[in-house]
Amino acid sequence: MGVVKRGLLSGLQTTWTLGKIIFPITLFVTLLGYTPVLGWIASGIAPVMNLIGLPGEAAIPLVIGNVLNLFAGIGAILSLELTVKEVFILAIMLSFSHNLIVESAVATKVGIKVFPIVAVRMFLALYSAFVINLVWDGGSEQAVYGLASATQAAEPTTILGMVSVGLQTAFWGVAQLAMVVIPLMLVVQIMRERGWLKVISKWLSPLTRLIGVDRNTSVTLASGLTIGLAYGAGVMIDAVKEDKVKKKDLYIVFIFLVACHAVVEDTLVFVVLGIPVWPLLVIRVITALLLTIVISRVWTRLEKRKESAYGKDALYDH
């Protein structure tokens, strides 16, 4: 019974910690959606869209997806007439870069600085779009959306109605978080106290070895890969504290996860766009592996060079 109590308390505490971030941000960005601000941002970046093979109006789902979330971005795509190639480019960009405000705020609670994470996500989105536009000659046929339509509920027309929608969205965002995080933290507590996390560490040891981090990062990796950055943050916060993850390993793991997280959910949601989703998953996984392997090797080399230089300085001092 003790382990259940500890797990539930851990889940409630984590929900409170993350809820204090998610509620006000969700309320703010929901209200922002009723203003012309997002349209201004979209029109500002529209002139550069041709560089990555997209029409100017494609800036709208990009801005909405990055400021709000992946589902909002996809909803905006469904309202546009685009080619298969254009939809695929938007999908790969949004898979790397979405929900930046909430997920970046959550990352700070894990101990990560916002700027490098946002910079990596934006770079991956733009670079992948540029490469796909450069190497893919096909996909010029009109995209046929499936499993969903662009129909939306009537938007509120009064300030009170907008605030009401914002509060409801923020409340259900935190409620959804609690429904995921509390049972998840309970399961993690049971697994930790019964030694099952060591089994997970063993399963993921080839991956941790490949990207150059310690095995104690396996819980953070597993939670991010399966349920994503926002929902997985609770487990990550707890794992970082309990497993004493090094700062370098934390950054490497997070860089891997910003490129490749919630692999099942974030891949399947793109089915509604009527595009092949397997290439999306393959691109994300390969990109995450290559990026983190390179960064980890360079970081380790710089650390060794710094230690070597420090050793020489100490020798000269004597």
Q: Give the containing element (helix H, strand E) for 219.
A: helix 218-227
| Residue pLDDT, tens place only, 85-132 | 999 999 999 999 998 988 888 778 778 888 988 999 999 999 999 999
- Which pLDDT score, from 0 to 100, does residue 13 have? 82
| Residue 157, token pair as written in the block | 């027309």
Model pTM score: 0.77
Beta carbons within 8 Å of 176's beta carbon, 6+ residues apart = none
pLDDT at 169 > cutoff 90? no
| Higher pLDDT among residues 27 and 279, named by residue | 279
- Measure the CA–CA gap between 116 and 100, rounded to whole angstroms: 12
Q: Could you tell me the pLDDT band of residue 269, with boundaries at 50, 70 and 90? A: confident
- Which pLDDT score, from 0 to 100, does residue 312 have? 58
Q: Give me the count of residues in the chain.
A: 318
- Which pLDDT score, from 0 to 100, does residue 75 have? 79
CB 270 within 8 A of CB 91: yes
Q: Could you tell me the pLDDT band of residue 148, with boundaries at 50, 70 and 90? A: very low
Q: In 154-183, which positions are buried (b, 16+ CB within 10 angstroms) versus exposed (e)?
A: eeeeeeeebeebbeebbeebbeebbebbbe
- Measure the CA–CA gap between 281 and 287, rounded to whole angstroms: 10
Q: For residue 311, how many other CB atoms are within 10 A of its CB? A: 10
pLDDT at 74 > cutoff 90? no
- Measure the CA–CA gap between 33 and 175, rounded to whole angstroms: 21
CB 68 within 8 A of CB 165: no
CB 185 within 8 A of CB 167: no
pLDDT at 228 > cutoff 50? yes
- Which pLDDT score, from 0 to 100, does residue 152 have? 52
pLDDT at 237 > cutoff 50? yes
| Residue pLDDT, tens place only, 270-295 | 887 888 889 999 999 999 999 999 99
- Which pLDDT score, from 0 to 100, does residue 3 have? 80
- Which pLDDT score, from 0 to 100, does residue 290 have? 94
